[in-house]
């Protein structure tokens, strides 16, 4: 009988689930892999939306989310729960994604059980351990534990090598590009009723997302004020803001934008709605990480509402611009894109450096190669290559 490896994918948040779902599907298609899924449910409702969209049924569900949960609560509950799961399942390889508390804790739990760890979306760095918080430290600590490092881009791989990682680095592209190939559809009906009422041909829709913890306070208020000014000044524009479940975010968004007629404050969207809204919008303004990768692949200019980014490749390619967290700067950059067709086209036509839709295949191949089940490693992803 052909030898198999048991691979457990562990994740807990909506962004992780979006990026791990196509990888889970790829692993399940491999005869040499016994694929298991464990979710911490660090985010519950938002995670479940993605699991349903990709028809993924977890083998283990820790269901740790609690009201007003803290980073300490997430860390302790996930570590306690994962200890039992890993002792029972005994996988050969644990795959974690990115930079959440679940990511670091799952890697740590696997290390305690002497189980090999593969880090999907490895090597992203800002160089500031407190920004984004706690993500920068989560991903750095995960690097120290992991044996396999699946870097989306050559620049991410270079970050790892500068930190002394010498083995197990594979440049794969980003799995979110794989996800987009199955979620974006030309004839799509939104689950959110309000989105079906928008005429995307007549109105220029700005997709706004803002929720990052390090922006809470004055930076977040500046972002909200900028959105209010853009809605008032730009002709034929509608701002659509799926508002994060954070009480602070919801309260502040309502305070600044709740009475603006061409701003729609809507509930968080499922992955299908979000990807298809992104495909139809004119411009994206975000403090999210993943959207900086998704939107350029759909030809959408992105203004990043942060002071720094761990995803500089799209900035260098011209698909993303740093708008910061000052109202006047955000407004100026947004109006420039909305009023200057040449500037808009320059960003919309930039080459996306993040993937070609084959990242999951490379990761699965690299995992099998690392266990001696394939004779050669996968070729590295190269941006712009065909």
With tokens 């690299």, the residue in question is 366
Q: What are the structure tokens assigned to 231, written together?
A: 């809605």
Catalytic residue among 16, 26, 61, 99: 99
In the annotation, is 135 catalytic?
yes
Closest CA to 284 of 355, 233, 334: 334
Which of the following is catalytic: 26, 61, 121, 178? 121
Task: Answer yes or no: 80 catalytic.
Answer: no
Determine whether 73 is an active site residue.
no
Tokens read off for 251: 């309260």
Task: Provide DSSP, 100-168.
Answer: SHHHHHHHHHHHHTT-EEEEET-----S-TTSSTTHHHHHHHHHHH-SEEEESSHHHHHHHHHTT--SS
What strands, in cross-sheet order, belong to the sheet with 93-97?
Answer: 60-61, 33-39, 5-11, 93-97, 116-120, 148-151, 169-171
- Catalytically annotated residue among 28, 48, 113, 213: 213
Annotated catalytic, 121? yes
DSSP structure string for 219-247: HHHHHHHHHHHHHHHSTTEEEEEE--S-H
Query: 16, 26, 61, 135: which is the annotated catalytic residue?
Result: 135
Instruction: Tell me the HSE value of 5 on the side-chain side, using a 13 A CA sphere.
Output: 22
Nearest to 169 by CA among 121, 226, 223, 104: 121
The conformation of residue 165, written as its DSSP 8-state character, comes to -
Separation between Cα atoms, residue 295 and residue 180, nearest integer Å: 10
> Which pair of tokens denotes residue 240?
């659509």
Q: Pick the catalytic residue from 14, 149, 211, 306.
A: 211
Q: Annotated catalytic sites, by residue?
A: 99, 121, 135, 211, 213, 244
């Amino acid at each position: 009988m052909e030898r198999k490896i048991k691979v457990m994918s562990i994740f807990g948040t909506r962004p992780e689930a979006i990026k791990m779902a196509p990888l889970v599907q790829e692993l399940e298609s491999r005869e040499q892999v016994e694929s298991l899924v464990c979710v911490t449910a660090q985010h519950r409702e938002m995670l479940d939306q993605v699991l349903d969209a990709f028809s993924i049924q977890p083998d283990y569900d820790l269901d740790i989310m609690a009201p007003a949960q803290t980073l300490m609560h997430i860390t302790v509950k996930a570590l306690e729960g994962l200890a039992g799961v890993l002792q029972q399942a005994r996988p050969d390889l644990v795959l974690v994604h990115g930079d959440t508390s679940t990511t670091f804790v799952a890697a740590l739990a696997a290390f305690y059980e002497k189980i090999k760890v593969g880090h999907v979306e490895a090597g992203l760095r800002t160089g500031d351990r407190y920004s984004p918080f706690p993500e920068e430290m989560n991903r750095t600590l995960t690097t120290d534990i992991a044996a396999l490092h699946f870097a989306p881009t050559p620049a991410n791989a270079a970050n790892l090598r500068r930190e002394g990682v010498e083995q197990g680095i594979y440049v794969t592209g980003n799995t979110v590009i794989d996800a987009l190939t199955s979620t974006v559809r030309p004839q799509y009906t939104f689950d959110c009723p309000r989105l079906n009422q928008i005429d995307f041909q007549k109105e220029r829709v700005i997709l706004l997302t803002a929720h990052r913890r390090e922006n809470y306070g004055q930076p977040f208020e500046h972002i909200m004020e900028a959105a209010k000014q853009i809605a008032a000044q730009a002709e034929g524009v509608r701002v659509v803001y799926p508002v994060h479940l954070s009480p602070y975010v919801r309260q502040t968004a309502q305070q600044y934008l709740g009475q603006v007629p061409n701003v729609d404050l809507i509930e968080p969207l499922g992955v299908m709605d979000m990807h298809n809204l992104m495909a139809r919008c004119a411009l994206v303004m975000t403090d999210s990480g993943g959207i900086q990768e998704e939107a350029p692949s759909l030809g959408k200019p992105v203004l990043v509402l942060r002071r720094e980014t761990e995803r500089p490749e799209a900035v260098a390619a011209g698909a993303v611009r740093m708008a910061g967290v000052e109202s006047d700067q955000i407004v100026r950059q947004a109006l420039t894109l909305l009023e200057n067709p040449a500037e808009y086209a320059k960003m919309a036509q930039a080459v996306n450096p993040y993937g070609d839709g084959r990242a999951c295949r490379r990761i699965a191949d690299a995992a099998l190669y690392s266990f001696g089940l394939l004779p050669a490693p996968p070729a590295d992803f190269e941006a712009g290559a065909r």
